[in-house]
């Protein structure tokens, strides 16, 4: 299923994730999936990596200033249960973020399932820019988020 992922920049200091999570929780927004990484690589390639498919939310000046000290920031990618509400909240609070369509799939939590999904992307000639996911031990389902280069083709192929 196609969902909208929010890529959000936070200062890379203790307490920032807690502040974000508290803000989302108090607004009644549930975080369905989340991954965190150093933002430097992302910021450096922001305007090159996904070009036409990237919908930029923050002004270019915000990204330019962050390039200077991007190691002091973390990039958080997250899926939430109410994307519009989250975007409104983040905008009001002056966070720097962008949005990206991704494929979010609940798949059986058993050996080889992720391999089958990745193989299917490859067989269809779809490159995966990044993927993250998780499952509880002994849980029956896993949630994996794929960011393919061709979102329309991936959505069509994985619709079933």
Shared domain check, 86 and 19: yes
* pLDDT, tens only, 18-54: 999 999 999 999 999 999 987 666 655 654 544 444 4
Shared domain check, 52 and 90: yes
* pLDDT, tens only, 93-103: 988 889 999 99
- Residue ending a domain, choose from 99, 115, 136: 99
Q: Is 19 left (phi over 0), alpha (psi -120 to 50) or beta?
A: alpha
Angle (deg, nearest 10), helices 16-26 and 83-92: 120
Shared domain check, 138 and 93: no
pLDDT at 63 over 80: no
Shared domain check, 123 and 138: yes
* pLDDT, tens only, 93-141: 988 889 999 999 999 999 999 999 999 999 999 999 999 999 888 889 9
Report how far residue 84's alpha carbon sits from residue 19's, in angstroms, rounded to the nearest whole number: 20
Domain span holding position 67: 2-99
Report how far residue 71's alpha carbon sits from residue 138's, in angstroms, rounded to the nearest whole number: 37
Half-sphere exposure of 55 (CA within 13 A, CB side): 7
Q: What is the pTM of this model?
A: 0.78
- Residue ending a domain, choose from 71, 99, 127: 99
Shared domain check, 106 and 75: no
């Amino acid at each position: 299923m196609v969902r909208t992922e929010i890529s959000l920049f936070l200062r890379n200091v203790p307490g920032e994730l807690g502040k974000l999570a508290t803000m989302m929780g108090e607004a009644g927004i549930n975080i369905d999936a989340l991954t965190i990484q150093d933002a430097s690589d992302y910021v450096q390639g922001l305007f090159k990596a996904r070009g036409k498919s990237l919908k930029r939310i923050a002004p270019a000046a915000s990204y330019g200033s962050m390039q200077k000290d991007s190691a002091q920031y973390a990039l958080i990618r997250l899926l939430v249960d109410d994307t519009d509400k989250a975007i409104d909240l983040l905008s009001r609070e002056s966070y720097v973020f962008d949005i990206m369509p991704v494929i979010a799939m609940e798949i059986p939590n058993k050996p080889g399932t992720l391999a089958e999904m990745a193989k299917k992307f490859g067989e269809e000639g779809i490159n995966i820019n990044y993927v993250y996911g998780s499952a509880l031990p002994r849980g029956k389902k896993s949630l994996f988020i794929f960011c393919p280069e061709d979102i329309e083709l991936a959505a069509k192929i994985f619709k079933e």
